[in-house]
Every structure is written in structure tokens, then in C-alpha cells.
Amino acid sequence: MTLVVTDAVVLHLFDYLESSRIVRVMTRELGVHSVLARGARRPKSRFGSSLDLFASGVAQFYLKPGRDLSTLGGFDVTRARLGLAEDLDRFAAASALAELALRFAHADPHDQAFAVLTASLDALAAAPPGTATDIGLASAWRFVAALGFGPAVEICCICHAEIPPEDAAPFSHSGGGVVCRRCVVSTPVSRALPADARHALRGWIEGIPTQLRGDAEQRAHLRLLREFLHHHITDGRELRALDAWEASRRRTA
């Protein structure tokens, strides 16, 4: 066994047997990893209340070669992010972001993606009322880009020709971004992105805050995000947290 000490954020946890929990964390060095917190549900557990959803800290666990489940030795919390539980929109966006990490980050080093994830959760936890959806969309697209499959929004994803920023452009999920007029005849596309939608996507991926103009634009961007991510899923499973986030925004319209 090898003792690993690494920065980590709690993405998911569930009860195991009578007194333990299995915790899914994203780490800076090892990507997404599953750890067993023995006795975590006992009243006098050494973990106390540290293993809360979305909490960041320093994890110590024992890595066993050939096993997917390690034993958690300790978790020292550095950020609890209690603000995420105080607002439904914040929680829905954070849950969708955690789901993206679980599904797409895998067990590989993701230093940049880890930094984006933790900074995004911080921003969501402090989001003023009415801003969580915009911050969540920006976080999701920036996280996708940090993982290496962000969409092309300034150049054609097929021939790499520049598309003027003031133009609307068809979007291809299979191609991975916007498509120019020449390539659209041979490329399957889903919808046309208006110039302001392209501007918002570009800003989010580059880390530039962009505020949308109302619920209709938010719903359109959530639909685009869902369609794009579902296209890149290879195992056929649903993105339940993302679907629930989108459904919650439809109910508030």
C-alpha cells in the first residue's frame, strides 16, 4: 500500500454497510477516485462532519495496486462551501458540475480541471441571488475546456476557417463546434448559434464573465450544454443532475 496525500473535493458519497461511507473525490494528482471511509457514520467518527458534499480539503488515503477502492485515512477540510446548500439554483448548478467531473475526468491527473472545479464551486457558493445559472454555465463550459474537449466557437471545427464574430453559425455536436458555410453542407448540425451566444461561449471558456439576458437565453444555453455533453457520452447513461438542473430552470420560467 502507498500513502497518498493530495488536495481533493468531495463529489459524491453514499452509505456502505452499517457504519461506513464510500466517497467519490476528485484529486489534483489522481483525478477522480473512490475511497472507503470506515466508520464515517458512527457518532464519534474521526471524520466528524468533514465529509460533506462539495467540501475541499487534504485527503490521506492508502492506494492499493490493482484496486479501484482505497481506504481513507483522513480528510482535513479547507473549504466547506455551506452556501451551496442555502440556494436551490446554486445546489443544482454545483451538482451538475460534480456530475461532469465524475463522468468525464476519470482517474488521471487533471491539475487545470481541478483548479477550475474548485474555483467554480467557490464562485457558486458565493453567487448573489439570480446569478447561479450564469455562473454555473460558465463553470461547466470552462471545465469541459479544461478537460480538453471544449467546442470551437471562433473558427470552423472542420476546416478551421475563421468565422466573423458578428455572424451566426451552425453548431455541430459531432464536429465539436461551429461550422462555416462551406462545411455545413457535409457536416451534421443541430442548431444555429446567434452571434451573442457565440460571444457568451467564448467568454465563458476564456474565463470572462458574461451575463445572459433572461430565462430564455439561460434555457437555450442549458439545452446546448446538455446536447453537447450527451453526444460525448459513450456508455449511454444519463446525466441526471444536469437534466434536473435544466428542468428546474424550465419550471421557474
Q: Would you list the domain boundaries of the chain?
A: 2-79, 82-251
Band of the pLDDT at 187, cuts 50, 70, 90?
A: very high
What Å distances lie between residue 244 and 73, 87, 124, 139, CA to CA? 34, 15, 17, 17
Band of the pLDDT at 234, cuts 50, 70, 90?
A: low
Average pLDDT of the residues in 129-142: 94
CATH T-level assignment (fold) for domain 82-251? de novo design (two linked rop proteins) (1.20.1440)
pTM listed for this prediction: 0.92
Band of the pLDDT at 122, cuts 50, 70, 90?
A: very high
DSSP of 66-128, one letter per residue?
T-SEEEEEEEEEEE--GGGGG-HHHHHHHHHHHHHHHHHT-SS--HHHHHHHHHHHHHHHTPP
Give the pLDDT score at 175: 93
Separation between Cα atoms, residue 92 and residue 87, nearest integer Å? 9
Number of residues that this document lists for the chain? 253
pLDDT beyond 70 at 253: no
Among residues 160, 158, 140, the alpha carbon closest in space to that of 150 is found at 140
Number of neighbours of residue 47 by Cβ within 10 angstroms: 18
Give the pLDDT score at 212: 81
Average pLDDT of the residues in 51-62: 93
Average pLDDT of the residues in 29-47: 87
Average pLDDT of the residues in 49-60: 91
Give the pLDDT score at 252: 65
Give Dmax over CA atoms of the chain in angstroms. Answer: 66
CATH number 2.60.40.10 given to 2-79:
no
Give the pLDDT score at 235: 73
